[in-house]
Amino acid sequence: MLTSHTPRIGYVVKRYPRYSETFIVNEILAHEQAGCELSVFALRPPTDTHFQDCISRVRAPVKYLCADNIKGEALWSTIQDLSTRVPELWDYLRELPKMSAQTVYQAMELAEIAGRQQLSRLHAHFATSAADVALLAGRIAGIPVSFTAHAKDIFHEDVDNQALELKLSQADSVVTVSEFNLQYLRTTFGNAANRVVRIYNGLDLDRFSYRDPQFRPTKIIAVGRLVEKKGFDVLLQACRLLLDRKVPFDCQVVGTGELESKLTLMSRDLGLDGVVTFSGAMPQSAVIQAVQNSAVMAVPCVVGDDGNRDGLPTVLLEAMALGTPCVATDVTGIPEIVIDRETGLLIQQRNPVALADGLELLLTTPTIRSQMAFAARALVECEFNIHRNAARIRQLFGEMAVDDTAAADTAAVAAVARQLQEA
């Protein structure tokens, strides 16, 4: 139930759209379906060459904030002009000595637009430059600001913890996408993280119909950017082990990234030609079809040497919703959804033998595939419904009266418990 006024929310992101950030698009679409008016503000234009088809359903206008060739004269002129209307601006800038001139200029531009559009709030995704711009713009415009912290913006070695603590303190509210993240932030930043809440990313489950995997071909699928944290080198090693064990299978890897050449060469060196195929980027509709035609999904995520890691991969949620059982690693938030031997198989990271064992079990035992897939779908329906989770975000924003949310969540949990018992 929406409040009497129509909220006008500005979503702030670094680049828009991005092929790998469907979780942001899912959230925007859910807000729009609930009657919210949104505008999207991007600090940079997109660099991807492929985009998910769900982008076309977003109604929100997109504004790219001025990013390049900002001259000192223009910057100081804008500061001087704005400070006559917002005298506190100089105090704000003194509190942020490390903020770049570009960030300051983009924040001032966003504040002006927020005033013209009468935005009620700014919400940024990732606790990086998008949050910096949103927080300063919100202070200038006098509107509340929140952000969602994911993974790289928390754990990467380049994260400035002093700056992150300041953002956590300044934000009206903060969302993070797993219980693992929540406990890390509270342990690391203490009182500054008091307003952080865990709200999982979600899926529009109407677009991910469940199909029993019992009679599918013996195919492994892996979907994600070809970067270190996805662990696809471990998957290739596991595929070689499966081949040596004479397990019948083929494997499809969907995605592009900086390690594409290295991984294709590694696959060839391991003698996996004709067994492992690299499909590149594919539209979401084609990915859904490929996942539903696979017996198992491999999600061999690792913690990178630079600390980078996945929070809770969206492709994992999608596979579980579609009825494709998963073998995944115990990294960050993954154990919160892959409950070993119940909703999937959970293994240690960087362990090709354990990955091969898990894949072999699901490839060769259709009844276990079916049991785990059913339990996984039930859990996704309970915890990862985008409409319920987006409603929780709006509640956090103060934009939603949710007198029936708790009851709905309780009923959903009870329903899942009954399903799991019956299974």
Q: What is the DSSP string of 118-162?
A: T-SEEEEESTTHHHHHHHHHHHHHT--EEEEE-SHHHHSTT--HH
Question: 118 and 158 in one domain?
Answer: yes
| 105 membership: H or E segment, kind and range | helix 101-117
Contact 11/60 with Cβ under 8 angstroms? yes
Q: What's the pLDDT score for residue 97?
A: 67
Note whether residue 418 is domain-resident: no
405 located within any domain: no
pTM (2 decimals)? 0.89
- Integer angstrom CA distances of residue 58 from 24, 46, 62, 389: 11, 16, 10, 18
Q: Is the domain of 257 the same as that of 361?
A: yes
E strand or H helix that includes residue 41: strand 37-44
Per the domain annotation, does 411 fall within a domain?
no
Rounded-to-integer distance, Cα 183 and Cα 197, Å: 10
Write the CATH number for 40. Answer: 3.40.50.2000
Regarding whether 213 and 193 lie in a shared domain, the answer is no
Q: Write down the pLDDT at residue 3.
A: 44
Same domain, residue pair 169 and 222: no
From CA 139, how far away is CA 122, in angstroms rounded? 10
Query: In sequence order, which residues have a C-beta less than 8 Å from that of residue 285 and are 6 or more positions away?
Result: 53
Residues 365 and 225 reside in one and the same domain: yes
224 with 247, same domain?
yes
What pLDDT score was predicted for residue 399? 52
Inside any domain, residue 421: no
Q: Has residue 118 been placed in a domain?
A: yes
Task: Scan for tokens 């391991």, then name that residue.
Answer: 270
**Which residue, chain included where needed, has tokens 């492709």?**
315
Residue 346 sits in the same domain as residue 211: yes
Which one of 198, 233, 259 terminates a domain? 198
- Whether residue 192 is found in the same domain as residue 209: no
Q: Which residues does 316 contact at the CB level (< 8 Å), separation at least 6? A: 297, 299, 326, 328, 334, 337, 338
**pLDDT for the residue numbered 423:** 44
Are residues 216 and 305 located together in one domain of the fold?
yes
| Pair (289, 364) in one structural domain | yes
Q: Using the 3D structure, point to which of 146, 172, 198 is the last residue of a domain.
A: 198
- Tell me what pLDDT residue 101 has: 86
Last-in-domain residue among 178, 198, 218: 198
Is there a single domain that holds both residue 335 and residue 376? yes
pLDDT given for residue 19 in this prediction: 80
The answer to whether 269 and 367 are in contact (CB under 8 A) is: no
Sequential DSSP letters for 29-40: HHHHHTT-EEEE
Inside any domain, residue 393: no
Is residue 392 in some structural domain? no
Range of the domain at 244: 205-380
What pLDDT, on a 0 to 100 scale, did the predictor assign at position 5? 59
- Total of domains in the chain: 2
Query: Has residue 407 been placed in a domain?
Result: no
Q: Verify that 223 and 371 share a domain, yes or no.
A: yes
Name the token pair of 196: 């952080």
Ordered per-residue pLDDT tens for the chain, 423 residues? 344 456 799 999 999 998 888 999 999 999 999 999 999 999 999 887 766 778 889 999 999 998 777 777 778 888 888 888 888 888 888 887 678 889 999 999 999 999 999 999 999 999 999 999 999 999 999 999 999 999 999 999 999 999 999 999 999 999 999 999 999 999 999 999 999 999 999 999 999 999 999 999 999 999 999 999 999 999 999 999 999 999 999 999 999 999 999 999 999 999 999 999 999 999 889 999 999 999 999 999 999 999 999 989 999 999 999 999 999 999 999 999 999 999 999 999 999 999 999 999 999 999 999 999 999 999 999 999 999 999 999 999 985 433 334 334 434 433 443 443 344
